[in-house]
Amino acid sequence: MISRELAKMLEAAGYDNGGVPMFIEDDFFPPSLSELIKACGDPFYSLVYATDNDWRCFSETDSFNTVAVSNGRTPEEAVARLWLALKGV
């Protein structure tokens, strides 16, 4: 699961949660891991457990095979941060 703060960052950057708001009053509906991976699109290619409760994911960013890398305490957090990186946030 991602934090409320990270979800707010996704929302501010234009993340589409399939038409479902992430925040309704006090309730919080974060995207699932599979939804986040799908949102990253074709450039997404790897999610690995590194060490010390650290997840890393990788994505190609352009035709020169530049790689974007992001880390998180959970797989969802790592992929959400990758989505933000791919959007230039």
Around 2, how many Cα atoms within 13 Å sit in the side-chain half-sphere?
A: 29
Span 82-86, average pLDDT: 93
Give a three-class secondary structure readout of the chain: CCCHHHHHHHHHCCCCCCCCCCEECCEECCCCHHHHHHHHCCCEEEEEECCCCCEEEEEECCCCCCEEEEEECCHHHHHHHHHHHHCCC
Distance CA 39, CA 9 (A): 15
pLDDT digits (tens, 9 = 90+) for 23-76: 988 889 999 999 999 999 888 889 999 887 899 998 887 666 667 889 999 999
The structural domains of the chain, with segments of one domain joined by +, span 4-86
Tell me the pTM: 0.89
Q: Residue 88's pLDDT is what?
A: 87
pLDDT digits (tens, 9 = 90+) for 5-15: 999 999 999 99
Burial status of residue 40 (CB atoms within 10 A of its CB: 0-12, 13-18, 19 or more): buried
Q: Residue 64's pLDDT is what?
A: 64
